[in-house]
Structure 1
């Protein structure tokens, strides 16, 4: 029998999310820094730059698939195996990993016990595929873990314009099935704009969408009917999502074009 204080809140850490088999632990303060780094660590924590850790409570019949090489602890009777069934399958996954930024081999953990993944400074988001009609496409490199009832595949852009001009890459990871997915987000969930489309259109100036319903049609279009008009408007091309589904947008990510107030005269 194993007992642990993993799920106990303290002055240093707290539980912030629970969904499916997953729990997210956030370290509010890094108490193990050197004295010369204490000031930087303090202000980093004030800006929500903190370590976060994903924990999976695995039961018989319900395992977890993770990115490669991020296991920190296995408590209990857990076994790990790869999702590779043969050389052809390995080559297919390797090619997929090169175009999406995800690891080719994703270990599957089964049995009964607790799986603890390595800490990350990114924000961990838990999404239930039932809330996405069972289909979710994510930005490259965001996948962290999922329940083993979830499946993944690489999907290509359906139009030349979206592949070449959209800034979202030629391929993306599509997640489908039932279960909970853990994603590593560049921004917290509270900063994400969630848009629900019901046979409608969403236009975004740039590649700020980090996740969207797979059934949405994605194209790149001009903001006005003519190229000259678009240039005159100063907007140029926009990413367009059409249909019925959801989109998660990171509006403050990589916004280097925004002027600093102290630079204004």
Structure 2
């Protein structure tokens, strides 16, 4: 099989890690008179469509978020990734805990798998570089991973993380060998990496994208007393302790903006339809 014109002046691979590739639309040529101006200025501000292209072979199957597949070529088959009723129930519990889909389909065989485009930024990471314990990711960020990557649900060290820290009590931890693709609200080149060596990092808010699973995560007051916190004007902070890495956003998430842009085409099409109707 030959795939022609996957890359052209408008679409280019901007990053590759292993068998995972990020295809970015430099500008969107599939526009109408209703949204051409908006799409142009979006592309100038780096708000662009991005897709994951995965090379599938017998040694590298792929697991993706449910509903993320756009098309596949070659001898590629989709499986449920469920190995019995007990496995399904376990995955359902994991999904409820981590805000991910309960069942993530696994694609096996020989060929190419292309995922649906997204306006979010895509972070590619080699899980093996995060140490034996792997990496823990923020809720809802998982997009796809190599089939050799294993996952488990990890819990916080204390209940305060759930009630006071703005974080869930459960997160998805990925470990083993292979590539993982994450959807981020911030470009990868803008993410700040903090390498801890028997040290601690305190963050005001849930700015962390992912962190080494062996780090201890707690939520604590900025000062030792409630009075001190009130006087300083600071309250609770997320604290990461130990030896490992943390990837964090430099600014607060603008997820609501991305939700709006995902609906932009539908609204533009509706306006065009109304205009033609008149």
- Please report the RMSD computed on the Cα atoms of aligned residues, expressed in angstroms: 1.4
**TM-aligned CA deviation for residue 36 of structure 1:** 2.1
Greater mean alpha carbon deviation, residues 156-165 or residues 206-215: 156-165
The 8 Å contact of residues 128 and 175 in structure 2, kept in 1 or not, is answered as no
The 8 Å contact of residues 185 and 253 in structure 2, kept in 1 or not, is answered as no
SS at match of 2:55: strand
1:117 to 115, 118, 133: 115
**TM-aligned CA deviation for residue 157 of structure 1:** 1.3
**TM-aligned CA deviation for residue 7 of structure 1:** 4.8
**TM-aligned CA deviation for residue 221 of structure 1:** 1.1
Deviations for 1:173-204, whole angstroms, at most 9, x for unmatched residues?
Answer: 01011111111111101111110000001000
Alignment of 1:184-203 (within 5 A): 184-203=183-202
The 8 Å contact of residues 58 and 109 in structure 2, kept in 1 or not, is answered as yes
SS at match of 1:36: coil
**TM-aligned CA deviation for residue 5 of structure 1:** 2.5
The structure where helix makes up a greater share of residues is 2
The 8 Å contact of residues 186 and 253 in structure 1, kept in 2 or not, is answered as no
2:128 to 127, 130, 133: 130
**TM-aligned CA deviation for residue 12 of structure 1:** 1.0
Which residue does the alignment assign to 2:163?
164
**TM-aligned CA deviation for residue 37 of structure 1:** 1.0
1:104 to 83, 102, 105: 102
TM-score normalized by the length of structure 1:
0.92
**TM-aligned CA deviation for residue 46 of structure 1:** 1.0
Structure 1 unmatched ranges of 5 or more = 257-265
**TM-aligned CA deviation for residue 122 of structure 1:** 0.8
Structure 2 unmatched ranges of 5 or more = 256-278
Divergent runs of 4+, >4 A: none
Which residue does the alignment assign to 1:79?
77
**TM-aligned CA deviation for residue 226 of structure 1:** 1.4
Alignment of 1:214-233 (within 5 A): 214-233=213-232
Greater mean alpha carbon deviation, residues 12-21 or residues 159-168: 159-168
In 2: Cα distance, 1:232 partner to 1:254 partner? 27
In 1: Cα distance, 2:57 partner to 2:114 partner? 14
SS at match of 1:35: coil
Which residue does the alignment assign to 2:274?
none
Deviations for 1:211-243, whole angstroms, at most 9, x for unmatched residues?
Answer: 000110011111112111111111111111000
In 2: Cα distance, 1:201 partner to 1:119 partner? 37
Q: How many residues align?
A: 254
Which residue does the alignment assign to 1:262?
none
